[in-house]
């Protein structure tokens, strides 16, 4: 794994798979999630489809640059977003996170890439496509939404899990991880998988402080309704039918707004991409990307 200095203040940890001569596929993770959530085997499956795969840690997560000590009043940001009042200051927005990706493309000397983002990563991917359309070959927005608060629909159980406080000790952190299965695939959820993943994440980089700042970036960035309507980039929108954190209506709305977007709702997929679905998703996404 390697660290790229993309600006005076931001460095991103990244890793690549496959032949750099192939079309690039950037993988972008969700809120608080490190790049290793893109399993190495999963990345290699995309690389085997003749794609040059790049995974990286978003700012404020994993081994990339942290905004240590910069406080954000998340409750005030949430209130302003929901009531559409003036937004209080935030450390950064989705536009800044999208610019990070452009910086990484520049660092890797890649003109254009297929952009595959999940959850928060899907929102960054949308903003990247809106603001830097010449850098995007295709947009793959997965388990995400349009920035319209009324279309982020979640069950109470899923929201309680999302906002639950994990213990700061390793054993407690691992034990707590099963809570997030509230919004995982009903068919494929697994205590063993949740705990193994949590142990990996804790040992690589335990950094919960960045999560509130990333969440503030989501809400401070507002609606993308009209901007999404103007997208001309080939777009694939995917949502799990079992997703209770971003209900299928979020994906449906995104696909409705983006002209000619292709919408796929996946059986037995929640707010996760369980291993039994990798083969289907690799075929679906790589076929779409390589046609564009």
CATH number of the domain enclosing 259:
3.40.50.1820
**Residues of the domain holding 60:** 2-155+209-290
Asked if the structure places residue 192 within a domain, the reply is no
Three-state secondary structure readout of 59-100: CCCCCCCCCCCCCCCHHHHHHHHHHCCCCCCCCCCHHHHHHH
Collect contacts of 285-288 with beta carbons under 8 A, ≥24 apart: 285/46, 285/116, 285/140, 285/236, 285/238, 286/25, 286/46, 286/49, 286/51, 288/138, 288/140, 288/234, 288/236, 288/262
Asked if the structure places residue 181 within a domain, the reply is no
Over residues 81-105, the pLDDT tens digits come to 988 899 999 999 999 999 999 999 9
Structure tokens at 159: 């929201």
What is the predicted pLDDT for the residue at 152?
86
User: For the whole model, what pTM was predicted?
Assistant: 0.97
pLDDT category at 6 given cuts 50, 70, 90 is: very high
Over residues 115-154, the pLDDT tens digits come to 999 999 999 999 999 999 999 999 999 999 999 988 988 9
Total domain count, the chain: 1
Asked if the structure places residue 182 within a domain, the reply is no
Asked if the structure places residue 198 within a domain, the reply is no
Asked if the structure places residue 171 within a domain, the reply is no
Look at residue 1 and tell me whether its pLDDT is greater than 70.
no
Percent over 70 (pLDDT), the chain: 100
């Amino acid at each position: 794994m390697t660290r790229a200095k993309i600006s005076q203040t931001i460095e991103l940890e990244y890793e690549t798979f496959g032949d750099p001569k192939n079309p690039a596929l950037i993988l972008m993770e969700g809120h608080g999630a490190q790049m290793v959530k893109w399993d190495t085997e999963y990345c290699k499956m995309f690389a085997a489809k003749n794609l040059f795969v790049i995974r990286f840690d978003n700012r404020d997560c994993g081994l990339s640059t942290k905004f240590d000590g910069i406080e954000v009043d998340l409750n005030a940001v949430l209130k302003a977003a929901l009531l559409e009042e003036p937004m209080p200051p935030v450390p950064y927005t989705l536009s800044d996170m999208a610019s990070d990706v452009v910086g990484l493309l520049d660092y890797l000397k890649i003109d254009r890439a297929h952009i595959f983002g999940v959850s928060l990563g899907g929102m960054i991917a949308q903003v990247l496509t809106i603001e830097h359309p010449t850098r995007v070959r295709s947009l793959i927005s997965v388990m995400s939404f349009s920035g319209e608060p009324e279309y982020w629909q979640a069950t109470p159980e899923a929201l309680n899990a999302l906002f639950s406080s994990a213990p700061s000790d390793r054993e407690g952190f691992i034990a707590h991880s099963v809570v997030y299965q509230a919004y995982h695939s009903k068919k494929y959820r697994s205590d063993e998988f949740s705990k193994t993943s949590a142990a990996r994440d804790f040992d690589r980089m335990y950094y919960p402080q960045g999560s509130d700042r990333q969440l503030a970036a989501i809400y401070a960035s507002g609606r993308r309704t009209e901007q999404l309507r103007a997208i001309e980039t080939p777009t694939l929108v995917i949502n799990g039918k079992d997703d209770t954190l971003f209900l299928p209506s979020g994906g449906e709305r995104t696909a409705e707004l983006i002209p000619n977007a292709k919408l796929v709702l996946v059986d037995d997929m929640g707010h996760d991409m369980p291993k039994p679905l990798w083969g289907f998703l690799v075929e679906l996404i790589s076929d779409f990307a390589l046609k564009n």
